[in-house]
Amino acid sequence: MSHEIYARVFTTAYALLATSALVVGATAPFLAVLLFTPVTASWPLLVLTAPFLGPAFAAAHAVFGSLAQDDGAPVVRGFLRAWRRHGRRSAIVAGAAAALLVVLAVDVRAAWGSPVGAVAIPVLVVLAALAAVTALVALTGVVEHPDVPLGRLLRACLFLALRRPQFTVVSSAALWVLAAAVGAVPVPALALLTGPALYVVWVGSRATLKPLRAVPGSEPDPRRADPRPSFRHPF
């Protein structure tokens, strides 16, 4: 291999490992509760610390976006800059998603075994899945479209996640693999797989949001990039 290829491989490996370390550090409160306390008893703490996930994920996505444009873009400084810039909106997304998932989980538990459970539980599970995938795409959306109002961005992310499910499935699978690995070997998995898993999520979410990038600086309107039926209709 040529010197350029070696340099590219080294740069990519460094970026992924550094991003892993930065995300783990930024989400330390959530990870501490998740790994060192019984989830069934400490789930209120998980909800309270879940907003830490949002800024960390968004900052990682910002780093990947910068590196895609410039191989020499700083990883650590870029992460910290993006964390400060997008922290508030991404924390709102993560916190709202976590709270909604808890409410839905409580409803599932309440309906379990009751006559209405056979109808209510599948609906609640679908709503939980929609909340999770919308938040996942939105954490890239807050970086790609920082000037779009959050409510409007969330509606667009929900619509596009449903319209392009193949990317959502790949992103969800990457996080499932990361979660399974963390459950088996927490420290190596967090150190080695966090960056690559979030990179897959970033690629999938960017592909999902591609129609919104057709008109830079404007409000979301996939109609200009996609001739199929408009997403404005449901809203």
Residues listed for the chain: 235
Please name the amino acid found at residue 81: R
pLDDT on residue 98 = 93
pTM, full prediction: 0.84
- Over residues 160-199, the pLDDT tens digits come to 999 999 999 999 999 999 999 998 999 999 999 999 999 9
End-to-end, the C-alpha distance of the chain in Å comes to 53
How much of the chain, in percent, has pLDDT values that exceed 90? 66
Q: Given a cut of 60, is residue 218 above it in pLDDT?
A: no
Task: Return left, alpha or beta for 215; rule: phi > 0 is left, psi -120 to 50 is alpha, else beta.
Answer: beta
Q: How sure is the predictor about 11, in pLDDT bands with cuts at 50, 70 and 90?
A: confident
In this prediction, residue 126 carries a pLDDT of: 93
Q: How would residue 6 be classed by pLDDT, with cut points 50, 70 and 90? A: confident
CB 78 within 8 A of CB 63: yes
- CA distance linking residue 61 with residue 195, whole number of Å: 10
- Residues 22-78 pLDDT 10s: 999 999 999 999 999 887 788 889 899 999 999 999 999 999 999 988 877 899 999
**Helix/strand/coil percentages in the chain, nearest 5:** 80, 0, 20
Structure tokens at 143: 């970086």
Question: Cβ atoms within 10 A of the Cβ of 177, count?
Answer: 15
pLDDT value of position 202? 95
Rounded-to-integer distance, Cα 104 and Cα 98, Å: 10
SS3 labels along 37-59? CCHHHHHHHHHHHHHHHHHHHHH
